[in-house]
Amino acid sequence: MSRRFQDEWRSLSLYEKFEQIVSFILTAVIACIILIALVNLIRETAIIVLEKGLDPLNHKVFQKIFGMIMTLLIALEFKHSILKVTLRKEGIVQIKTVILIALLALVRKFIIIDFKSVAPAKLAALSFAVLVLGGIYWLLREQYLRYRE
Counted residue by residue, the chain has a size of 149
Direct distance between the N- and C-terminal alpha carbons of the chain, in angstroms, rounded to an integer: 37
Spatial CA neighbour of 85 closest among 10, 4, 25, 134: 25
pLDDT confidence of residue 93: 55
Confidence (pTM):
0.72
Task: Please say whether the beta carbons of 89 and 116 come within 8 A.
Answer: no
pLDDT confidence of residue 62: 81
Task: Please say whether the beta carbons of 81 and 122 come within 8 A.
Answer: no
Task: Please say whether the beta carbons of 34 and 72 come within 8 A.
Answer: yes
Q: Tens digit of pLDDT for each residue in 59-73?
A: 788 888 888 999 999
Statement: residue 14 has pLDDT above 70 = yes
Overall average pLDDT of the 102-114 stretch: 89
CA distance 23 to 5: 16
Q: What percent of the chain has pLDDT over 70?
A: 91
The DSSP element (H or E) to which 136 belongs, if any, is helix 120-148
Domain-by-domain residue ranges, the chain?
Answer: 3-148
